[in-house]
Structure 1
Amino acid sequence: MTQQLALDIHLRDDFSFDSYLTSSNQQLASALSTLHSDYPLYFWGEAGSGKTHLLHALLNQYVSQGKTVSLLSLDGDERPANKICEGLEQCSLICVDTVDAIVGDSSWQQALFHLLNRTKQNGTHVAISAHCSPQHLDVFADLQSRLAASLIFEQQVLNDDEKKTALQQRAKMRGLTLSDDVANYLVSRAQRDTHSLFSLLDRLDKFSMVKQRGLTVPLVKEVLFGVR
């Protein structure tokens, strides 16, 4: 896999379009899975709505096809922005995770603007996630205009019933049985965003294997609250 990545990125193998509960986001998931190069796809939603899942699903899809990909997180790298973006237009796909991070950073705004110009010339596919729409992104006018010309979707947050279904679907893919009672308990007692719920399911999976016990409400209480 590493030779197919433009940068040293770590993809979640369990994040796929099959493991994503599309529900009210069916059009978004479909547009991402059939991405084309005419314009970037920009989608936004609140924290925990599943943006990272969809980006990793898209990246995994391209990697499985032997294509080169790059994931820009826009933070945690001390190199100049223009150096990080240099040559990325040669990739088949560029994903920009949480583009809001460039607000207040003129060097990143300029670097991203010029990268988008090069991707348009090169026919590179681009997907961008954010917490707000392009119109509410506080960046310089030309970049905002370029982002606003994307194919834009607002990612809807799953309701409680959909979260339970998503948890049970994810558990099934891991070979686990998650009863309705346990799923209801998780959604009502744990942090309610999908990222936190999925992370908790990962912890429960590991804990149940160590304890050689099934996923039950008492086991969940033990993990959440230390109750035995």
Structure 2
Amino acid sequence: MPYTEDLLKIWQRVIENFGDSMPRATIENMFYDIVVESFDGSVAVLSIHSEYRHSLIVKKYLEKIRSLISEQLGKQISLVFKYSGSSKYYIDQLKLEYNLPGGEPAVRIDPPKAYSGENKEEHTRPVSTLPPCNQEYTFSNFIVGNSNKFAHAACVAVAERPATDYNPLFIYGQSGLGKTHLLYAITNELIKKKPDINIIYTKSEDFTNYLVECLKDRAMDRFRQKFRSCDVLLIDDIQFIAGKDSTQEEFFHTFNALYEEHKQIILTSDRPPSDIKTLEYRLKTRFEWGLIADIQPPEFELRLAIIKKKSEQAGINIPDDVCEFLAENLRTNIRQIEGSIKKLRALSFLTGTDITMEMARGCVAELLGGAEPVSVTVDKIFAAVYKKYGIPKEDILGSRRTKEIAFARHVTSYLIRNITEMSLPNIGKLLGRDHSTIISSIDTIEKKLRTDKIFNIEIEQMIKEVNGH
């Protein structure tokens, strides 16, 4: 399809032309996974898998995209923008339906007609039944693992029975682990069950800013009416109210009013209440009235599942060995993983090649900055084992099975697994052993650690040495 190829060639230039009016990060987040489906010379068909961003792009950017494509092609074209996530599309009463293959409707905008008197805004404003929270975050696409299953279960329970068992619900964990995703998921689930429910989702900074605004306007009744009349209050990053006396005072009374009326309160933080310095004691105790759930950094298996799911959503194929490499190296948070997927997709698209290990290594180096990739850490483990037991890397990787070499091999397996979280099959490949042998090696060391205090100290010292402490 030559026309489609023409559009593919100019698509990157079209997106780059947003650069004068939008930050680069916003452009990448908003448009990175738009797919050019077809172009017949007069009508371009684009699609996106995200219902939320489909609605936002239709509302704010669709006419500009059509205009930029027309400018690049040197002629006016019509644009069809399709939401590919399901059969549901937001179509305003003034929008036209364009029957795509398969009979799915989508939003279409045509070139402006001279002297038509039409209002373009009417053609680009979508219908939405949800408030301006992120509708693409749901419980169904939250990937659950050991590190987050307790917090996920608590949020599901609150969405099913608000203000009953867990009130308040306090979720904590470092940035980028999915706390906000869970807040949005609760919101979307509650609205789906009860569309007229009064929900307020806000960040603590916005709570403070609105309080200051109402204080300046001498309109505290407005503030109290807003926050004390809701059915569910969700506040993200509540730790930022610490040290702000007026904000803490007002939130204390807001909390009490909602709690006494059996309204659900959900809070997130980067630390548990007891660790939030300069937070008033009376607030700390109230935050502990209900349920406190933590989210830990994702374990290897969860990181791997997230990488595969995110790559599927982005419409790209990442080989299994590259997925495992990313999961082994990107251990801090989910945002790192999302950043790597976006980068790999862009590299693959711009170069016209499949995703390779070399691309992944470049992404990891860029994301980790000064941090070391797993391969460097593994070399340090071999060096630490040699320093302690006098067994060189060559013997650990070799076929000799003396008692001393076998023990050093067990220790190496244990350290690689616990320091790098490399998968067991990959440790086996690295050491030239099968999966069951690696499991046996790690079990041997764990049993010895349970009974030998001196050995415990030795292993701790080796871990500190490898980690540079």
Range class of TM-score, shorter chain: 0.7 to 0.9
Aligned residues: 222
Pairing partner for 1:61 from 166, 185, 189: 189
> What is the DSSP-based 3-state SS (H/G/I as helix, E as strand, rest coil) of the residue aligned with 2:136?
coil
Let me know the Cα RMSD of the aligned residues.
Answer: 2.9
In the TM superposition, 1:21-100 aligns within 5 A as 21-24=143-146, 25-35=148-158, 36-38=162-164, 39-65=167-193, 66=195, 67-75=197-205, 78-80=209-211, 83=214, 86-100=225-239
- Identity among equivalent positions (%) equals 17
Cα deviation, 1:44-99, whole Å, max 9, x if unaligned, reads: 12233221222222222233342332222112563325945642233332211111
Give the number of the structure whose alpha-carbon radius of gyration is greater: 2
Cα deviation, 1:93-118, whole Å, max 9, x if unaligned, reads: 22111111111111221222112112
CA contact (8 A) 1:50 1:195 kept: no
TM-score of the aligned structures, taking structure 1 as reference length: 0.80
Instruction: State the distance in 2 between where 1:206 and 1:61 align.
Output: 33
The alpha-carbon deviation at position 2 of structure 1 amounts to 6.6
Pairing partner for 2:340 from 200, 209, 225: 200
1:111 corresponds in structure 2 to: 250
- Residue ranges of structure 1 left out of the alignment (5+ in a row): none
CA contact (8 A) 2:238 2:268 kept: yes
Letter in 2 for 1:30: A
2:283 corresponds in structure 1 to: 143
- Residue ranges of structure 2 left out of the alignment (5+ in a row): 1-126, 215-222, 367-469
Cα–Cα, structure 1 residues 131 and 113, in superposed 2: closer, same or farther, change >3 Å? same
Deviates more, 1:111-120 or 1:201-210: 201-210
2:309 corresponds in structure 1 to: 169
Pairing partner for 1:120 from 252, 259, 267: 259
Cα deviation, 1:125-167, whole Å, max 9, x if unaligned, reads: 2211112212222311211111111211122221123211111
Letter in 2 for 1:150: G
Cα–Cα, structure 1 residues 64 and 213, in superposed 2: closer, same or farther, change >3 Å? farther
Deviates more, 1:85-94 or 1:17-26: 85-94
Instruction: State the distance in 1 between where 2:328 and 2:224 align.
Output: 43
Instruction: State the distance in 1 between where 2:351 and 2:133 align.
Output: 29
Q: Which runs of 4+ in 1 moved over 6 A?
A: none
Q: Specify which structure has the bigger relative contact order, considering alpha-carbon pairs within 8 angstroms and separated by 6 or more residues.
A: 1
CA contact (8 A) 1:43 1:128 kept: yes
Instruction: State the distance in 2 between where 1:171 and 1:16 align.
Output: 18
2:9 corresponds in structure 1 to: none
> What is the DSSP-based 3-state SS (H/G/I as helix, E as strand, rest coil) of the residue aligned with 2:151?
helix
Cα–Cα, structure 1 residues 81 and 167, in superposed 2: closer, same or farther, change >3 Å? farther
> What is the DSSP-based 3-state SS (H/G/I as helix, E as strand, rest coil) of the residue aligned with 1:61?
helix
TM-score of the aligned structures, taking structure 2 as reference length: 0.42
Instruction: State the distance in 1 between where 2:234 and 2:355 align.
Output: 35
